[in-house]
Structure 1
Amino acid sequence: MNIGLGLPIDDPASLLTWARRADDGPFTTLGLLDRLVYDNPEPLITLAALAGATSRIRVQTEVLLAPLHNTALLAKQTATLDRMSGGRFTLGIGVGGRPDDYEAAGVDVRRRGRRLDEQLVLLHRTWSGGGSIGPTPVTPGGPEVLFGGFAPVVFERVARWGGGFLGAALPPQAMDRVFREVERKWAEFGNAGRPRLVAQVNVVLGPEAVVEQARANLRAYYAFSEYADHIRAGLLTTAADIRAAVTGFGDIGADEVMLYCWATDPDQVGRLAGELS
């Protein structure tokens, strides 16, 4: 099973160091979240820089809030990133639900699901060479797409468009039911094989100051939610707990586990690699 790293967002300048260290280690993917009304780096620009600083590791949005974006420009940006990274880009995509992001973008939050469905048609048409928007992605048909979220319509998007599912914020025993539903919908649509299944878990390894920074960052990011304290409490802070989570997700069929880090310290890359390799 593959292990990826979700990158911290509070110090964008440190991410080149994170990326280079991860590229030299056992990790398969670098992930970066997306918000508009928040002090985080824009993910496509950042991942382009990280792809240029690495040679092996994949780069992935977790997840890009596609309805906030102009669709034609998004098709061009993602095709460009796929091509310039040599096919190392995965588009994790979703809709989010924070009204301030949508208000700032001038997009109706009530139409976000319908807008994403419309966008997917244009994205795939463009990536496949339809129309005049280029460049052509190096990955045939466009970059791999992972869909994030837990609504039934998300599972249908996985089945209709292929790619896979990215699940966050649930432990393995709860994610098991979600994975099985994704697989059921996949088979219902007559797809061969199985969807790619990716799990995400919040982690930190390091001295107490690093752990406390991660807890504070996690709490601040989810401050809008009534579950902020619950999410903060679920942060895994020991090697034993992280290994158990990775094993648990592997047991339910995860193809990859993204270890999402919430503190700036890049030494976490080596600590995690040492515990999990």
Structure 2
Amino acid sequence: MSRKPRLPPPDPEPLAPLIDAHTHLAACGGRDPESVAAILDHAQGVGVGAVVTVADDMVDARWAVAAAEWDDRAHAATALHPTHAGDLTDETAEELRAMARHPRVVAVGETGLDYYWLGKSDDCASKQQQHEAFRWHIDLAKEVGKPLMIHNREADRDLLDVLAAEGAPETVIMHCFSGDEAIARECVERGYVLSFSGTVSFTNATELQAAARIVPDDQLLVETDAPFLTPHPYRGHPNQSYCLPYTVRALADLRDTDAQTLAGHLTATAERVYRIALPSV
């Protein structure tokens, strides 16, 4: 028997201002100006006034830049996801370098290391390819003077060692932070910015929740990573940027603060890190 598709979560109570620090508009269905506007209108209706839409591969990178050109509430981050690191060639490097200089591109990402898929997927780039592409993206972020947005899955130590050896850019964003409190403390000490997704609200995420409690306000971001990682109690349902207030409220509870105060800190950090401002309504 086929499983019925899970419905999108209901709209949360509005919470403003907010910026979704990492989403994937194309994967959410935003592949033309009208569908992008509909996603962003929905988000804006609950207080999420801007998003950073992120690339996994070259096709996604082009979609991300296009979305940021179509709507001033969208900004783009472009790079090759570590599992696609094998796609880095002279030709794609030239295109990525041009994208990174685009005025609507606010970060180089997501890049990093992903050891989870090694040996599980025939399409996953090798460890060597991942390391080479990661170092190239680190240098690109420094070259263009924009934040480096990190993807890290089961590669904590190697990833931090590569950043230290290569010399990290001025701003490093640990997208969808998944480490424990010790890794969080090391990242904080290095001055990195930690971005938390709906996973921090999961009932079994005790180590991640401990990490979320110790991050200073000015090194904290919040994201959906939509269409993935929908927050509790809607885990497994389709995610979009409008769901962000659920995660912010979960974070506020964890950090023993009120959601409105936290929203202000999160937005100020996003505006500073990405060098953006919420569009005037």
Normalised TM-score (structure 1): 0.54
Question: What is the distance in 2 between the residues matched to 1:121 and 1:265?
Answer: 29
CA contact (8 A) 1:29 1:60 kept: no
Deviations 1:116-153 (A, max 9, x none): 355247636xx74xxxxxxxxxxxx3432122214212
Match of 2:148 in 1: 145
CA contact (8 A) 1:7 1:260 kept: yes
Question: What is the distance in 2 between the residues matched to 1:101 and 1:42?
Answer: 23
Change (3 A) 1:86 1:200: same
Match of 1:166 in 2: 174
CA contact (8 A) 1:71 1:123 kept: no
What SS does the aligned partner of 1:84 have? coil
Match of 1:252 in 2: 215
Range with greater deviation from structure 2 (13-22 or 157-166): 13-22
Match of 1:53 in 2: 70
Quote the sequence identity (%): 10
The one-letter code of the counterpart of 2:242 is: Q
The one-letter code of the counterpart of 1:68 is: G
Question: What is the distance in 1 between the residues matched to 2:100 and 2:185?
Answer: 30
Q: How many residues align?
A: 209
Change (3 A) 1:264 1:148: closer
Deviations 1:142-184 (A, max 9, x none): 43212221421212344422231425364xxx64322212244
Change (3 A) 1:250 1:264: same
Match of 1:189 in 2: none
- From the two aligned structures, give the one with the greater helix fraction: 1
Match of 1:18 in 2: 39
Normalised TM-score (structure 2): 0.54
Question: What is the distance in 1 between the residues matched to 2:192 and 2:54?
Answer: 22
Question: What is the distance in 2 between the residues matched to 1:90 and 1:68?
Answer: 17
Change (3 A) 1:68 1:235: farther
Match of 2:56 in 1: 34
Question: What is the distance in 1 between the residues matched to 2:48 and 2:149?
Answer: 22
CA contact (8 A) 2:79 2:108 kept: no
**Aligned runs of 1:74-85 on 2, under 5 Å?**
74-85=92-103
Change (3 A) 1:102 1:71: farther
Question: What is the distance in 1 between the residues matched to 2:79 and 2:102?
Answer: 20
- Could you tell me how far 1:99 is from its partner in structure 2? 4.7
Q: Of residues 156, 167, 178 in structure 1, which corresponds to 2:161?
A: 156
- Could you tell me how far 1:90 is from its partner in structure 2? 4.0
The one-letter code of the counterpart of 1:30 is: V
What SS does the aligned partner of 2:224 have? strand
The one-letter code of the counterpart of 2:149 is: L
CA contact (8 A) 2:195 2:221 kept: yes
- Could you tell me how far 1:72 is from its partner in structure 2? 3.3
Q: Of residues 72, 78, 86 in structure 2, which corresponds to 1:68?
A: 86
- Could you tell me how far 1:32 is from its partner in structure 2? 3.6
Question: What is the distance in 1 between the residues matched to 2:44 and 2:96?
Answer: 21
- Could you tell me how far 1:257 is from its partner in structure 2? 1.0
2:192 is equivalent to residue 195 of structure 1: yes
Change (3 A) 1:175 1:30: farther
Match of 1:112 in 2: 129
What SS does the aligned partner of 1:178 have? helix
The one-letter code of the counterpart of 1:182 is: C
CA contact (8 A) 1:32 1:63 kept: no
CA contact (8 A) 1:21 1:269 kept: no
The one-letter code of the counterpart of 2:192 is: P
CA contact (8 A) 1:146 1:158 kept: no
Match of 1:93 in 2: 111
Unaligned 5+ residue runs, structure 2? 1-16, 228-236, 250-258, 264-281
The one-letter code of the counterpart of 2:148 is: V
Question: What is the distance in 1 between the residues matched to 2:70 and 2:203?
Answer: 29
2:226 is equivalent to residue 261 of structure 1: yes
CA contact (8 A) 1:164 1:195 kept: yes
